[in-house]
Homo-oligomer: A and B are copies of this chain.
Amino acid sequence: MSGCPFGHGGEVSGGAAGGAPNESRQTSGFSRRGLLSIAGIGGAGAVAGLAAGFLGHDAVAATPAGATAPSTDAAVVPFFGDYQAGITTPAQDRLHMAAFDVTTEDRKDLVKLLRDWTAAAEAMTAGKPTGETGAVDGPYNAPPEDTGEALDLAAAHLTLTFGFGAGLFEKDGKARFGLEGRRPEALIDLPHFPGDDLQPGRTGGDIVIQACADDPQVAVHAIRNLARIGFGKVRVRWSQLGFGRTSSTSRAQATPRNLFGFKDGTNNLKVEDNSLLNDHVWVAPGDRAGEQWMAGGSYLVARRIQMHIETWDRTSLREQEGLIGRTKGTGAPLSGGDEFTAPDFKLAGRDGTPLVPLDSHMRLAHPDQNDGVRMLRRGYNFTDGSDGLGHLDAGLFFIAFVKDPRTHYVPMQLALAKGDTLSVDYLKHTGSGLFAVPPGIKQGGFIGEGLFS
């Protein structure tokens, strides 16, 4: 890799939309697909002069100049901003999340990696490759600086969201990277919750990266290239694909369904809830010395929740709805109304018992039962092969962003793990992570810069 992996970006003019576009994918003006179309044109023109069997490497010379890259693209979510993207961004349909162990102990190496990741993330979220690909540029005798599988694809609303685990701050009781006293108090070690069956290979990690996109290949490409750039400094600890979002984060989105077949996240915090986001999601500038770098950040809770879907599928509709507290069809509370009607937890049926059962998931997870705390959920459905026992290994990869997990996650999860029949009988938590998500990155800055300055 050369020092500045994006030095060639300016030499390529975008906008050529030739070739056979894939009907299900969006075009963008200055996109990887644009690059490739140019390569196609250049490659064909270069055939006559072929000498050593490689095409396309001179294609830039054959590119008509003059077109300039448009500054915005409908499928591009800006990487820079006050907050990191991928939190209140309207939830994309596909996820690839990976947690890394940092293997270097050198602070300079770590900062360089965060700078390199910042540059690569900016490029990829804009639909550009992470460097010279070999399609239109780049040295022939070195590895390409982008792995190429997203060359023909648009930006696809890719967002990349970075978080730091406790292990970045200390290992075996000793501070790392000169970060003595910098671990935020809210970045706790999560307690063991009743029923937890956490697998070490799906739990923890020093750094997490959440890649969300409309196209899974774009999300996988992003994680794979960040892992590639981190070679020798980080190792993949776990990685998780999600195929269907289970929350909306904007009122413009319809509520999706989880693998229990129910609408999920109806009461989720949404990007339109500005003051609620400040109350529940964004970390406020605090007084505590050494924590100012987290202002505008958040905490990411990740839980891999395996669902016993075969047992669920043999449960009556009556029982399913009672366990959830909502109807399966419309998602309305069992106390009546439609999906967005506030539940009436006191309303009782003819037999005198509440219509929303006392042990229902919706009741136990509701803000009214949890000191009014709210979360911004951003989870995904997953299916990872089979469980080796004749069933699909399927469930919900829970992701939530909260201001402080001590108030906004742990109490509720304790209540659910103890009292929620759904959690006790139908769910198993097999992976877990808690990460401090720094604020947004400014142009010229890098991920988590405040922690290192």
A34 at the interface (CB under 8 A from B): no
**Contact (Cβ within 8 A) A53 B217:** no
Q: Is the interface of A mostly helix, strand, loop or mixed?
A: loop
Cα-based distance from A309 to B94 in the complex (angstroms): 22
A interface residues, tally (CB under 8 Å): 108
CB contacts (< 8 Å) of A383 on chain B: these are: 96, 220, 224, 239, 241
Provide the A86-130 mask, 1 if CB < 8 A to any CB of B, else 0.
Answer: 000000011010100100000000000000000000000000000
A55 within 8 A of B: yes
Contact (Cβ within 8 A) B254 A224: no
Q: How far is the CA of A202 from the CA of B94 in the complex (A)?
A: 25
Residue of B144, B220, B321 near A320 (CB, 8 A) is: B144
Task: Verify B47–A317 contact, CB threshold 8 A.
Answer: no
What's the nearest-Cβ distance from chain B to residue A228, in Å? 5
Are B140's CB and A316's CB within 8 A? yes
Within 8 A of B (CB), among A358-394: 381, 383-386, 388, 390-392, 394
Given A147-B309, A257-B148, A338-B47: A239 and B329 interface contact (C-beta under 8 Å): no
- Flag whether A438 is at the interface (Cβ < 8 A): no
The answer to whether B141 touches A317 (Cβ under 8 A) is: yes
Check B241–A334 contact: CB distance below 8 A.
Answer: no
For residue A171, give the distance in angstroms from its CB to the closest CB of chain B.
16
Instruction: Give Cα A381–Cα B215 distance, bound, in whole angstroms.
Output: 13
Tell me, in angstroms, the Cα distance from A395 to B112 when the chains sit together. Answer: 29
Is the beta-carbon distance between B243 and A19 smaller than 8 angstroms?
no
CB neighbours of A151 from chain B (8 A): 257, 261, 329
